[in-house]
Amino acid sequence: MKCSAGAFDKDSCVFEAMIKSAADYYSGKVERYGPTPRGVDWNSAESQALRFRQLLRVCESNQSFSLNDYGCGYGALLHFLREHSSPCEYYGFDASDRMLREAEAFCSGISGAIFVNDKSQLQRRDFTVASGIFNVRGEAPASQWQEYVLATIDELDSVSSKGFSFNMLTSYSDPDKMRGDLFYGDPCFFFDYVKRKLSKNVYLLHDYGLYEFTVGVRKEMT
């Protein structure tokens, strides 16, 4: 595997192998279930929409904005935005080529959307959201996956001028429902990391009925 330079220089080969494993996992899901919530490993359209609402709180005070959808899947967020008349410029990124082909087909009737499969093509936008990208660690050790998560959070910050948000399965999940191939993050740890390192304006949502949490970061405007 050829390792690319960028935010993950220190452990780029290891991280890229983990990303490829996760991309392969999701490629298999969308191949089996098509451009549906199950195709991105969610249980229902209702829970998917609920996640979108939490993630987009970071943008809610803006009349118009540009948005990176980091881990865009088949483009469901773009449809959600258009259905709710959000006038944003949309840029979708996903590591799975199969998923991006589904996104381009699923969103073919929506003008102005741009999809890319290379992080180097991402530009700095007003906001960035990331839904579900930290969940599937596969066989990677949890400690190593957490390092990847932190590096990716730093990258979300670097491509966002006004703010960003992400969600994650919670370590407060019921033990009998937790899977060995998934990553369950400590919401307090990630809130503290972002609050101390990236911004004073951070919120943590853990009250919307799913076994996960959402962190939102608003940049300080100077």
Q: Is 70 exceeded by the pLDDT of residue 169?
A: yes
Question: Do residues 187 and 170 touch, judged by C-beta distance below 8 A?
Answer: yes
Residue 111 included in any domain: yes
Q: Does 144 fall in a domain?
A: yes
Q: Which of 119, 147, 124, 115 is nearest to 3 (CA)?
A: 119
The 3-state secondary structure of 57-94, one letter per residue: HHHCCCCCEEEEEECCCCCHHHHHHHHCCCCEEEEEEC
Q: What is the CATH number of the domain that holds 127?
A: 3.40.50.150
Asked if 208 contacts 54 with a C-beta cutoff of 8 angstroms, the reply is yes
Domain that holds residue 73: 9-218
Token digits of residue 92 = 């979708």
In a domain, 85, yes or no: yes
User: Among 113, 1, 10, which residue's Cα sits nearest to residue 68?
Assistant: 113
pTM for the full predicted model: 0.92
Kindly state whether residue 64 falls inside one of the protein's structural domains. yes
Q: Return the amino acid letter for 83.
A: E
Position 23 in a domain: yes
**pLDDT, tens digit, for every residue of 36-92?**
999 999 999 999 999 999 999 999 877 789 999 999 999 999 999 999 877 799 999
Express as a percent the part of the chain with pLDDT over 70: 94
Average per-residue pLDDT for the chain: 92
pLDDT at 220 (0 to 100): 73
Instruction: Classify residue 4: in a domain, yes or no.
Output: no
In this structure, is residue 18 part of a structural domain? yes
Q: List CB contacts of 102: < 8 A, sequence separation 6 or more.
A: 30, 34, 35, 39, 73, 74, 75
User: What CA–CA distance (Å, rounded) separates 53 from 97?
Assistant: 26
In a domain, 3, yes or no: no
Decide: 194 and 186 in contact? Cβ < 8 Å: no
How many domains, the chain?
1
Average pLDDT over residues 199-215: 97
Q: Which residue carries 């990176």 as its tokens? A: 68
Angle between helix axes 76-83 and 45-55 (nearest 10 degrees) is 70
Give the per-residue pLDDT at 221: 63
Q: pLDDT at residue 9 above 80? A: no
